[in-house]
Structure 1
Amino acid sequence: MSFTLLPEWSPQDAVMLTWPHKETDWVEILDQVEPVYVALCQHISQVQKVVIVTHNQELKDHVIQLLSEASVDMTQIQFVDAPCNDTWARDHGPLTTADSEGNLCIKDFVFNGWGNKYASELDTQINSALCKQLASPSNLVQQVDIVLEGGGVEINESSVLLTTSECLLNPNRNPHLDKAQLEEKLKVELGAKSFLWVDHGYLAGDDTDSHIDTLIRFAPNNTLVYVQCDDEADEHYDALQAMESQLKTFTTPTGEPYTLVPLPWPSAKYNHDGDRLPATYANYLIINDTVLLPIYGDEKDALALTQLQKAHPERTVIGIDCLPIIHQFGSLHCITMQLPQGFLK
């Protein structure tokens, strides 16, 4: 039986969020961050369920109050009781694979805090709690002894796996595996048939060693959506120009070039300490009938919405103000994980 990672645009049961709380690094800006989470719940709950991981009962009660006050349909909300170090559901969440008959296998990879940069001992237990509390008993659940974050890989309908060499080949992840060995493992675990390795591109303020979901995303019909830097004075210009050049050389399994859809480059955003924040329009979330795009109160927001609509013409594209989120060096896709159709009991 062969299982393959599902593209993000596959039908979904829910999106998982791990709610920020006062014992996380969000503590100083919780009053700015929680409204972003509430807005996400408002939009997602209109088309599917929202699964919310809460650190303790006090937080769960608080979230219920926030969502009720925001008129969120609470029948669309399900909770997982699990303590957490942080809230990056994309990276500690499960990667769900399916076979040709639609049976699911939920893969629980090792999460090591992006190369042991941050504490993760609680976050590594969340998938187990999620599966025990909410997953359909008909789904297989498998622990995978490979370090891998969901933000580090993209897959399309042809089972082409897209990733960055900077992240997946970093010695802080799987130092015992070389590129060929890692490809063999990902063919088995994620059903990848071929690979696109991106060798250029980074994002200042990014802690993930260049996760693909900050730079380039798959869209249906052999399309690549990517960030394009047109400011020669920007520190990212050379790396992103090199990345764009490499994308133009990529071909589909049948030898055709990919359709390339560039996203604009927002103006530089900084925190109070003068650190540059990783503002990227590539960190969007695809849900049923809709795409949620992170926006930053930037003059390029409108163009980003227009460009993304080209890649997903059948979906409604909605902007979500994620300026507070990038203060912890991630964005919208990083705080979410889709749970495909059939995941929930």
Structure 2
Amino acid sequence: MNKLLTLAFILSFTGIMAQTYHFPEESSKHEGTWLQWPHHYQHGTTYRQRVEQTWIDMTKALQAGEKVHIIAYDTTEKDRIIRTLEQNKVPLKNVDFRIYPTDDVWIRDNGPIFVKDAKGNILIEDWGFNGWGEKFDFENCDKIPQQIGKDLGVQVINLNEEMVNEGGSVETDGNGVLMACKSSVISQQKGATRNKGITQEEAEEMFETYYGVSKVIWLDGVTGLDVTDMHIDGFMKFVNHNTMITMNEEDLLELGLSDKDVNTLYTASNANGKEYKKVYLPATKNKVKTAYGKQLEDKGSYVNYYVANNVVLVPNYGDPNDSVANKIIQDHYPGRKVVGIDVRNLYENGGMVHCVTQQQPAGNLLK
């Protein structure tokens, strides 16, 4: 057991309550949304050009309801992004920029986790990030939480030596329950290892302390199925502490889930022991084809959406089921407007809307 967990055990044993933190649900009020803008330095100009429209569309939809904090690779990129947004008639009043080198765009996984302490003050948790088991470069992205914390002057809890944890690998219901796949958190298989030697119990203790949950529900997941080793946010999301959005059994099995995992998901209960009400989104009717015409091998998921102050950004694919999924989601967020975001080219690279957004809750920053 590592030093931090040993300390937590000692404090618990002696009756001294250690500080725990609360991860506000995504639908709670935001100060803003953080985005890592795609650039050409890592994957080339063609990559940037193919996916950039997704960031333009997200920024346009978000800026009317909250701040949009854009991370640009360097000042040259910042100037180019400003020109691009102006050309697309995106108001810049609520948009600001930070200059940090990044390896890629997946801020949900490498970015800051904003939490609240017992007094309701907001601070940043900086979990370790190792490129989904060292599959890709990660050194620049791993520094992002510390850089944001320094710029904002907010306290940062450094968990880099304690546990690797990607934001997309966990879902919380805002009322004490966290769900995750073992394959993307505690798997010890080669090419997928986040945390060498970690036990399920140690991971649960970390989640209980730093996400403020009392119950962790594990699916097995599938190691090696994709880059993330099956992140939970691809196929389930909590609407609230009574309701989850997911997919039907046939679609889940096609995604790679086992019968056991489907059963665990469907019978999951909240902190009060009540089984979650389930809302089922379809997968795309057809396998996804990129905007530039490349046929991909998989159907797309609509579950990977992002809830902002005024809007809900839903991945769309130019598919007949786009309108079906958008309406179902709209019905569950009546105070917000669903905005379909074309993610066809981004999907080729392994993610959708939720993967590339990170919320900063409204409230006082702990300086």
**TM-score for the superposition, normalised by structure 1:** 0.91
Q: Deviations over 1:62-110 (max 9, x none)?
A: 0010112222221211111111111111111111111343211210111
Paired residues of 2:40 and 2:47 also in contact (CA < 8 A): no
1:142 is matched with 157
Aligned to 1:227: 247
Unmatched tracts of structure 2, length 5 or more:
1-18
The 2-side partners of 1:320 and 1:241 are apart by 31
Equivalence for 2:9: none
Given that 2:315 and 2:342 are in contact with CA atoms closer than 8 Å, whether structure 1 keeps it comes out as: yes
1:292 aligns with 2:313: yes
Aligned equivalents of 1:283 and 1:160: distance in 2?
A: 19
The answer on 1:338 being equivalent to 2:359 is yes
- Check conservation: 2:23, 2:174, Cα contact below 8 A: no
CA distance in 2, matches of 1:262, 1:7: 20
Of 76, 80, 84, the match for 2:98:
80
Counterparts of 2:253 and 2:277, CA distance in 1: 27
Partner of 2:303: 282
Q: In percent, how many aligned pairs have the same letter?
A: 29
Residues 1:207 and 2:207 aligned together: no
Counterpart of 1:327?
Answer: 348
C-alpha displacement of 1:226: 0.9
Q: Which letter maps to 1:268?
A: K
Alignment of structure 1 residues 1-345 onto 2, 5 Å: 1-25=19-43, 27-133=45-151, 135=152, 137=153, 139-144=154-159, 145=161, 146-171=163-188, 172-200=193-221, 206-228=226-248, 230=250, 236=254, 239=257, 242-266=260-284, 267-269=286-288, 276-277=297-298, 279-342=300-363
Offset at residue 273 of structure 1 (A): 7.7
What is the number of equivalent residue pairs in this alignment?
339
**More off after superposition, 191-200 vs 10-19:** 191-200
Letter in 1 for 2:302: Y
Offset, 1:47: 0.4
Deviations 1:134-184 (A, max 9, x none): x2x3x4211103100110111122121111122112120112211011111
> Aligned pair in 2 of structure 1 residues 5, 211: CA closer, same or farther (>3 Å)?
same
Greater alpha carbon shift after TM alignment, 317-326 vs 277-286 = 277-286
What is the distance in 1 between the residues matched to 2:308 and 2:175? 20
Deviates more, 1:219-228 or 1:116-125: 219-228
Which whole-Å CA distance do the structure 2 matches of 1:285 and 1:307 have between them? 14
237 and 78 in structure 1: CA distance in 2 versus 1, 3 angstrom threshold:
closer
The question of whether the paired residues in 1 share the 8 Å contact of 2:66 and 2:309 is answered with yes
User: What is the alpha-carbon distance in structure 2 between the residues aligned to residue 240 and residue 308 of structure 1?
Assistant: 26
Matched position secondary structure for 1:132 = helix
Q: Distance in 1 between matches of 2:170 and 2:120?
A: 21
Which amino acid is 2:166 matched to?
A: E
Higher mean Cα deviation, 75-84 or 1-10?
1-10
Contact 1:226/1:262 (<8 A) preserved: yes
Q: Give distance in 1, aligned partners of 2:224 and 2:250.
A: 15
Structure 1 residues 341 and 124: CA distance shift in structure 2, 3 A: same
Question: Do the aligned residues in 1 keep the contact of 2:22 with 2:116 (CA within 8 Å)?
Answer: yes
Helix, strand or coil at the partner of 2:43: coil
In 2, are the aligned partners of 1:3 and 1:105 still within 8 Å (CA)? no
Deviation at 1:296, TM superposition (A): 0.3
Checking the alignment, whether the CA contact within 8 Å between 1:290 and 1:315 is kept in structure 2 is: yes
On the 8 A contact 2:100/2:144 being kept in 1, the answer is yes
Say if 1:89 and 1:336, in contact at 8 Å, map to a contact too.
yes
My pick for the range that moved more, 335-344 or 101-110, is: 335-344
Distance in 2 separating the partners of 1:320 and 1:2: 36
The 1:210–1:201 alpha-carbon spacing in structure 2 relative to 1, beyond 3 Å, is same
**Shift, 1:189, TM fit:** 1.9
1:237–1:12 Cα change, 3 Å: closer
Contact conserved, 1:229 with 1:240, CA < 8 A, in 2? no
Alignment RMSD: 2.4
User: Partner amino acid for 1:309?
Assistant: Q
CA distance in 2, matches of 1:59, 1:226: 37
TM-superposed CA distance for 1:201, in Å, is 7.0
Structure 1 residue 309, shift from structure 2 partner? 2.3
CA distance in 1, matches of 2:333, 2:101: 36
Shift in alpha-carbon separation, 1:342–1:24, aligned structure 2, 3 A: farther
